Amino acid sequence: MTAGGTTRNGRALALKDVPSLEPSQFRGWLVNGVRDKGRRVVSYFGAASNAAGGTAAEGISLVAVLADDANGRLSIARTISDGTTFESVVPEVTQAHLFEREIAEQYGVRFEGHPWPKPVRFHHSYRKGYDAWGRSVDAQIPPGVLDFFRVEGDEVHEVAVGPVHAGVIEPGHFRFQCHGEQVFHLEIALGYQHRGIERALVGGPTKRTLPYMETAAGDTTIGHAMAYAQAVEALSGAVVSAHAHAVRGIALELERLANHVGDLGALAGDIAYLPTASYCGRLRGDFLNMTAELCGSRFGRGLVRPGGVGFDLSSDQVRDLRSRLTVARTDVTEAVELLWETPSVRERFEGTGTVSPDDAEALGLVGPAARACGIQRDVRHDFPAGIYRFVHLPVMTAHHGDVNSRAYVRWLEIQQSISFILSQLDGLPANGTRAAAGAMRPDALVVALTEGWRGEICHVAMTDAAGRFSRYKIIDPSFHNWFALALALRDGQISDFPLCNKSFNLSYCGHDL
Amino acid sequence: MLKALLARAHQGHRTMAYPAGAPPPMPERFRGLPALDPAKCPEGCRSCADVCPTDAIAKDGPLALDLGRCLFCVECVTACPEAAIAFTHDTRLATRRREDLVLTGQALPLADALEGKLCRLFGRSLNLRVVSAGDCNACSSDVNVLGTVGWDVGRFGIQYVASPRHADGLLITGPVTENMRLALQRTYDAVPPPKIVIAVGACAISGGPYAGHPEQHDGASSVLPIDLFIPGCPPHPLTILDGLLRLLGRLEEQRRVPRG
């Protein structure tokens, strides 16, 4: 079988060194890699044919990145499609399902043999005149209007929820096929948050590029900004100081803490266990406020910059942060341990919303959702970059794949993150906030991975002959994981949906971009 | 059970004293209301305007900064050779009119209370339906935070409700994506009159970093009439709370200092 090229997290390579395979070889390489070699689809995307170093005016480039988690290697290859049809790999590689749907929508390529060929974000194709569903250029594309999977029979009914749903939450549409309380099937239609980020990134960086990254998924500002910074640094050869690496690590773990703690509180709220809901609701804010001490923004805006960080950490701040964190650790421990000691909580969490390890592997889940199924998968461990090259974090797992496991993995990670930050504060390297990131290398490609609080964030940047972005692909962890929420609901009760949803807490805007 | 009670005693009462007492302190690096000093601008200098990601700064005439577009990043402050722009710790940013958000060095005309009947109707009880229309979940999160025990917005009679039919108005975040336009309009239509609309964050006011993208509509005012603008990216919870309380005429200082 033809080999792809090999690269590592955050290492730039010349486009010409990305093997260009014949379509059938490319497909074989992808299928063989996942099915036989146990690799995982990190990214699979389309690009204008000239963006990937080709010259053909017709057709499009397809680029795929596969992860060999055990060895910390990334396998990469590309091909040229004629731009009309391509043979789907989904019958053999389930986890490519949404990637192919996305390519179909963005570039108007029909994937033959795809079992579920539906739009993803409900927008017009990037290539005028090419549409995978044969829609005309001026046709309206109403969001959420698609051929939903339906179950029919006596007493089977359909429940439609969203895009505007109860609670302060981003919009999405959920279509349940129910038999009484029991959910036979859930289909999720997103795209309501689509703002056109990837389209706007081409030709950059511009002065808006960083704000795009920081708001791709605003609750993951540090995670996406770090992946972006890593990509730019690889392409420009900037050397980041040890101080900046440490501050980034602290900020990334604070982001994880705020979200994990907030979500544990929200899970408690969803089952009406108010003590933990109240305490964690407040404590989440304490962690956000620590991030604000670093950079003035509760969400970490302005902290991560290509070449380093926008703000350093003074010795006074180190002292202050250490004492705040120590207090927060005591409070969080008390608040969260109530969950595990309260039978009514365990009764609601255990066995609810179960995803099997086989399904988790087949879907290529990432982050706490994968680790809750016993899968050892964490970018900080498998593809360490920045501070994580020097400080090794163990991978936290649980084994039942249910709400309880997802909650418990979060709790284990909370403890890890606090210890990590405290140890970083103890030995913070002095000086050096930001090195200048110079011009980017032309005709190059880099894959940058970061373990955000939801899981693997993957950015793939490609540059043109002038060193500008010819394609910039963002994969938020939610992109891998949304389908797992649908599976988690199968045979469950529709009343458990809020609980299941919160246990994943996936990003709508990170998915919709 | 005993542990739950002990935890309750240890976690204590956490609702802040504000507005009766002092507001929570802002971190040293917090970026609130920008202070402009146009007198410091060197002749013909456009450094700030050139680096601003959202073109919030105009330098064609005297220095002007549009808070409705401002992301409160540090690009302009870093670029300015004369320190003509500085961020203060002032969290009060909300206005009733879009044009009031354009700073030229004057005091920001903070939001007045709702007029007559609306104030009587909503002043002590305001139910809001929150609609995220393309927001990045940062504005949503800090709107949501007002419901936690520390802020407890319920003590002012303000609630976020599940149905627009139970609401007195909408609170909108996000630039209003094309894919949310219809849903937003229908949610608005479902709110019984009289109703108000509040736009929270740079995206909902102007499109924020997405201004000009064909996938969105440059903010909520393109679709609906707006009664209150709360700028920020995202606004601090205190900024949001301040805006809501001003709109309802619930702040002491509003009553003490009549606006000229």
- Which 331-350 residues of chain A touch chain B by CB within 8 A? 331, 334-335, 337-338, 341-342
- One domain, residues B154 and B223: yes
Q: Compute the nearest-CA separation of A335 from chain B (Å).
A: 7
Cβ B8–A275 below 8 Å, yes or no?
Answer: yes
Quick check: is B11 in a domain? no
Q: Are residues A234 and A328 in the same domain?
A: yes
The residue written with tokens 């397809």 in the block is A62
Flag whether A65 is in a domain.
yes
A69 touches chain B (CB under 8 A): no
Instruction: List the domain range (segments joined by +) for residue A334.
Output: 197-512
Q: Measure A513 CA to nearest chain B CA, in Å.
A: 9
CATH of the domain at A59: 3.30.460.80
Domain-embedded: residue B8: no
- Residue A52: is its pLDDT beyond 70? no
Q: What is the pLDDT of residues A109-142, one digit of tens each?
A: 999 999 999 999 999 999 988 999 999 999 999 9
Please report whether residue B246 resides in a domain.
Answer: yes
CB–CB contact B163 A166 (8 Å): yes
Q: Is B180's CB within 8 Å of A193's CB?
A: yes
Q: Is the pLDDT score of A108 beyond 80?
A: yes
A217 and A69 in a single domain? The answer is no
CB pair distance less than 8 Å for A218 and B141: yes
Interface test with A, best of B151, B152, B177, B240 (most A CBs within 10 A): B177
Q: Does A127 touch chain B (CB under 8 A)?
A: no
Inter-chain Cβ pairs, chain A and chain B, closer than 8 A = 183
Residues of A in contact with B180 (CB under 8 A): 143, 163, 171, 192-193
Q: Do A282 and B133 touch (CB under 8 A)?
A: no
CA dihedral B241, B244, B249, B255 (to 10 degrees): 40
Query: Helix/strand/coil (H, E, C) string of chain B?
Result: CHHHHHHHHHHCCCCCCCCCCCCCCCCCCCCCCEEECHHHCCCCCCHHHHHCCCCCEECCCCCEEECCCCCCCCHHHHHCCCCCEEECCCCCCCECCHHHHEECCCCCCCCCCCCHHHHHHHCCCEEEEEEECCCCCHHHHHHHHHHCCCCCHHHHCEEECCCHHHCCEEEEECCCEHHHHHHHHHHHHHCCCCCEEEEECHHHHHCHHHCCCCCECCCHHHCCCCCEEECCCCCCHHHHHHHHHHHCCCCHHHHHCCCC
DSSP state for residue A39 in the 8-state scheme: -
DSSP β-ladder status, A110-112 and A85-87: parallel
Nearest to B145 among A121, A218, A285 (CB): A285
Q: Is A309 inside any structural domain?
A: yes
Tell me, yes or no, whether B220 and B124 share the same domain.
Answer: yes
Q: Mutation test of the interface with chain A: which of B1, B130, B179, choosing the one with the most A Cβ atoms within 10 A?
A: B179
Nearest to A195 among B72, B164, B216 (CB): B216
- The DSSP code for A32 is I
pLDDT score of A444 more than 50 = yes
> A164 vs B183: CB contact, 8 Å cut-off?
yes
> Within this chain, do residues B156 and B70 fall inside the same structural domain, yes or no?
no
Per the CB < 8 A criterion, the answer to whether A457 and A227 are in contact is: yes
User: Could you tell me if B120 and B247 lie in one domain?
Assistant: yes
Q: Could B233 and A301 be called an inter-chain contact, meaning their C-beta atoms sit closer than 8 Å?
A: yes
Instruction: Identify whether residues A423 and A286 lie together within a single domain.
Output: yes
**pLDDT class for A2, splitting at 50, 70, 90?**
low
User: Which of A196, A282, A334 has the CB atom closest to B148's CB atom?
Assistant: A282
Shared domain for A217 and A323, answered yes or no, is: yes
Pairwise CB contact (< 8 Å): B11 & A207:
no
Residue-number span of the structural domain to which B198 is assigned? 116-251
Residue B135 belongs to a domain with what CATH number?
3.40.50.12280
Q: Are residues A241 and A370 in the same domain?
A: yes
- Do the chains contact at A169 and B132, CB–CB below 8 Å? yes
> What pLDDT, on a 0 to 100 scale, did the predictor assign at position A56?
52
Neighboring chain A residues of B28 at a CB cutoff of 8 Å: 293, 296
Residue B72 lies in a domain: yes
Residue A301 and residue A405 in one domain: yes
Burial class (CB in 10 A: 0-12, 13-18, 19+), A129: exposed
Domain-located, residue B109: no
Question: Is the pLDDT confidence value at A373 over 60?
Answer: yes
Whether B81 and B120 map to the same domain: the answer is no
Domain count, chain A: 2
Cβ neighbors of A81 (< 8 A, separation 6 or more) are A23, A46, A59, A60, A61, A62, A109
| Residue among B30, B145, B183 whose CB faces A171 most closely | B183
Please check whether residues A245 and A102 belong to one and the same domain.
no
Residues A219 and A97 in one domain: no
The closest CB to that of B210, out of A163, A195, A282, belongs to: A195
Torsion of Cα atoms, B34 then B40 then B44 then B49, to 10°: -10
- Name the domain boundary from A96, A112, A128: A112
For chain B, 260 residues long, the average pLDDT of each consecutive 10-residue run is 90 91 93 93 90 93 93 94 93 96 91 92 94 96 93 95 95 97 96 97 97 96 97 97 95 60
> What's the pLDDT score for residue A430?
83
Q: State residue B258's pLDDT score.
A: 45
Say if residue B77 is in the same domain as residue B182: no
Closest CB to B31 among A210, A296, A508: A296
Count of domains for chain B:
2
Q: Do B56 and B131 sit in the same domain of this protein? A: no
List of chain B residues whose C-beta atoms are within 8 Å of the C-beta of residue A299: 138, 141, 234
Both B231 and B128 in a single domain?
Answer: yes
Which of B53, B183, B216 minimises the CB distance to A211? Answer: B53
Same domain for A491 and A369: yes
Q: Are residues A95 and A217 in the same domain?
A: no
Q: Do B138 and A193 touch (CB under 8 A)?
A: no
Q: Which residue of A has its CA nearest to B147?
A: A281
For residues A87-109, average pLDDT: 96
**Residue B186 contacts by C-beta under 8 Å, 6 or more apart in sequence?**
none
Q: For chain A, what's the residue count?
A: 513
Q: Determine, yes or no, domain membership for B95.
A: no
Question: CB distance B3–A338 less than 8 Å?
Answer: yes
Domain boundary among A112, A130, A149: A112
**Do A193 and B132 count as a contact with CB atoms less than 8 A apart?**
yes
In terms of domains, do B179 and B123 share one? yes
Quote the pLDDT of residue B61: 84
Could you tell me if B238 and B129 lie in one domain?
Answer: yes
A82, A224: one domain: no
Of A463, A488, A495, nearest in space to A232 by CA: A463
pLDDT at position B259: 46
pLDDT digit string (tens) for A243-297?
A: 999 999 999 999 999 999 999 999 999 999 999 999 999 999 999 999 999 999 9
Return the residue in A145, A168, A279 with the most chain B beta carbons within 10 A, the one to mutate for interface testing. Answer: A168
Q: How far is B137 from chain A (nearest CA, A)?
A: 5
Residue B132 belongs to a domain: yes
Contact B148 A281 (CB under 8 A): yes
**B136 assigned to some structural domain:** yes
Residues of B in contact with A169 (CB under 8 A): 132, 140
> Are A58 and A204 part of one and the same domain?
no
Q: Please give, rounded to a whole number of angstroms, the shortest distance from the CA of B164 to a CA of chain A.
A: 9
Tens of pLDDT, residues A56-80: 567 899 999 999 999 999 999 999 9
- Indicate whether B145 and B194 sit together in one domain: yes
pLDDT at A405 over 90: yes
pLDDT value at position A54? Answer: 55
The answer to whether the beta carbons of residues B240 and B142 sit under 8 Å apart is: yes
Dihedral (CA of A411, A414, A419, A420) sign: positive
Read off the CATH number of the domain in which A245 is found: 1.10.645.10
Query: What pairs with residue A183 in β-bridges?
Result: A178
In this complex, do B162 and A293 lie within 8 Å of one another by their Cβ atoms?
A: no
Q: What is the tens place of the pLDDT at every residue in A142-164?
A: 999 999 999 999 889 999 998 99
Report d(CA B21, CA B254) in Å as an integer: 16
Tell me which of A112, A127, A155 is where a domain ends. Answer: A112
The SS3 assignment for A198 reads: helix
pLDDT computed for residue B260 by the predictor:
38
The answer to whether the peptide bond before residue A275 is cis (omega within 30 degrees of 0) is no
Q: Looking at the structure, tell me whether residues B228 and B176 fall in a common domain.
A: yes
Q: Is the dihedral of CA A197, A304, A255, B76 positive or negative?
A: negative
Closest CB from B7, B148, B162 relative to A167:
B162
pLDDT for B239: 97
Residue A455 has pLDDT above 70, yes or no: yes
